[in-house]
Amino acid sequence: MTYSNKVLDHYENPRNTGSFEQGEEGVATGMVGAPACGDVMKLQIKVGKDGVIEDARFKTYGCGSAIASSSLVTEWVKGKTLDEALTIKNAQIAEELALPPVKIHCSVLAEDAIRAAVADYKKKHGE
Amino acid sequence: MQFECCIGTTGFGVYHHPLNLVPLFKQTRYEKMVKLPIYLDYSATTPVDPDVAQAMVPWLTERFGNPASRSHAFGWEAEAAVEKARTDVAALVGADLREIIWTSGATESNNLAIKGAAHFYKDKGRHLITLKTEHKAVLDTVRELERGGFEATYLGVRENGLIDLDAFCAALRPDTSVVSVMLVNNEIGVIQPIGEIGAICREKGIVFHVDAAQATGKVDIDLTKLPVDLMSFSAHKTYGPKGIGALYVRRKPRARLEAQMHGGGHERGLRSGTLPTHQIVGMGEAFRLARENMVSELPRIRALRDRLLAGISCIEATYVNGDMAPEHRVPHNLNVSFAYVEGESLMMSIKDIAVSSGSACTSASLEPSYVLRAIGRDDELAHSSIRFALGRFTTAEEIDYAVEVLQRGVGKLRDLSPLWEMAQAGIDLNTVQWAAR
């Protein structure tokens, strides 16, 4: 698979990897995908009192473009409100990373991860 | 099995280099230079041996005659070269030179053998048997025959990758006409018991075809003893050129085929088309070298493969795919699943090492390896698999370097893996409700 330099950069130097401490204030988690399908993404967001995402973390099992998509998403959600984060679409991720057609599902999964993390936050905070 | 553990885990440096500037050489902890990238994909193809390339060249330029030209010296010398090569190919496998038919490669040989025999013997029966773990060149050929009215049984294999002979016998029918089983599997390197399968076929008058593309130069093949009717060969898996192969067609008892390629009646009418003299000379020389080198080459490659296995065995949660017993596996092959990391991303992290993966991400179909599925590996372990195929030019320094980068690469990806995190926390991944799309 020939990847764009952006994918290679995120793969070689993934941003915001890891997990938040369990029980940390304002943290919500979205986990999407399945091992049998070859990719699982875990996206965590940390939301401040003002409703803005202050920080994000990810862990991903998957191919290079899955890792790059989730790494990119952690950069993009930071500084956004939950509603703003939900406007991030897979097509933007695919375009930014110049994903080949066979890898579009990785960007779809990254969008799903945002939705899952936001839904988890809203559930925890009774919204 | 006991393996010496932890070759290469101490004292290696960390290599930093700009992304797109790969230095040609890197220093290992053994202070020896390793040329990068390292080729460990000899089952995909092999380099043409320099001696082979040299032998081929004159047949492209000054000795360009058509071996079918009977009226002048240009043709005669080309024909002599073709027949010399035929003798060398026959000698490696214990065949008579009249039993060797030139083709364009193992895919064509498989097509000619299976379609040719199925059609020739169609009045006797229309049922074929093969294995689920065969190469696509066999599976797709059998599928094509099914579309043409034949019936087929695709036998599963045991967990070690080998055929279950009882299941095979149970699958035989009075109208079974052709059986096709590979000698060496291309993904997991296991050696099928073709002698036993052939004996059963012979007793029942069934044509037995063997795809031996991955076997030449790796296992002894003696067709004077093996009850095999048809056997496919490829040059480029054995240090010969791409685009040339052969089909063995037994004379006694005679195996009959319907030609699939019609034209000038070359190769006794079984495969028309002008013979590519230079390619044939290359295959002959490659098979001659294989015969000459096997005895010294195989133990050396086995030792390197075991060195690789010992290094990999130090990485937690790794699983060897397929039987490892020396009598059941070629010494060149190692197929390992690195749990909790995905194969394609692992290949990216070891990008100076050329290998293959059973991961779906490396295939157009987005399905993980059907061979690993057939031996009972779950999808996750199939996605996490890497095939290492060693060869004539592999060195101990290359293996040590590969082990170093593998240990680093797997470590890096497991740090990134939510599955590894969960496994470390004691969560059974099989009990998790996955939000699969």
Of B340, B361, B417, the CB nearest to A63: B361
| Torsion angle of C-alpha atoms A107, A110, A116, A117, degrees rounded to 10 | -150
Of B345, B364, B429, the CB nearest to A64: B345
**Cβ contact B421–A8 (<8 Å):** no
Write out chain B residues lying below 8 Å of A34, CB-based: 434-436
Catalytic one of A37, A91, A98, A102: A37
Three-state SS sequence of A26-40: CEEEEEEEEHHHCEE
pLDDT in tens, chain B (437 residues): 334 344 333 333 333 333 334 444 555 554 457 999 999 999 999 999 999 999 999 999 999 999 999 999 999 999 999 999 999 999 999 999 999 999 999 999 999 999 999 999 999 999 999 999 999 999 999 999 999 999 999 999 999 999 999 999 999 999 999 999 999 999 999 999 999 999 999 999 999 999 999 999 999 999 999 999 999 999 999 999 999 999 999 999 999 999 999 999 999 999 999 999 999 999 999 999 999 999 999 999 999 999 999 999 999 999 999 999 999 999 999 999 999 999 999 999 999 999 999 887 766 666 889 999 999 999 999 999 999 999 999 999 999 999 999 999 999 999 999 999 999 999 998 888 887 54
Query: Model's pTM, two decimal places?
Result: 0.91
> Active-site residue A106, yes or no?
yes
**Contact residues, B window 311-370, toward A, CB-based 8 Å cutoff:** 340-342, 344-345, 348, 359-362, 364, 366, 368
Of A32, A35, A105, the CB nearest to B380: A35
| B401 close to B38: Cβ distance less than 8 angstroms | yes
The answer to whether A62 contacts chain B (CB < 8 Å) is: yes
**Cβ contact A61–B420 (<8 Å):** yes
Beta-bridge partners for B191: B184
For residue A54, what is the enclosing H or E element?
strand A53-61
Write out chain A residues lying below 8 Å of B420, CB-based: 61
Per DSSP, the three-state class of A17 is: strand
**Cβ contact A9–B360 (<8 Å):** no
- Closest C-alpha to B245, from B206, B207, B215, B208: B215
The answer to whether B19 contacts chain A (CB < 8 Å) is: yes
CA distance A42 to A16: 12
Q: How far is A63 from chain B (nearest CA, A)?
A: 5
State whether ipTM is beyond 0.90: yes
**Cβ contact A40–B434 (<8 Å):** yes
**Cβ contact A61–B342 (<8 Å):** yes
**Phi, psi (degrees; rounded to nearest 5) at B100:** -105, 125
> Active-site residue B361, yes or no?
yes
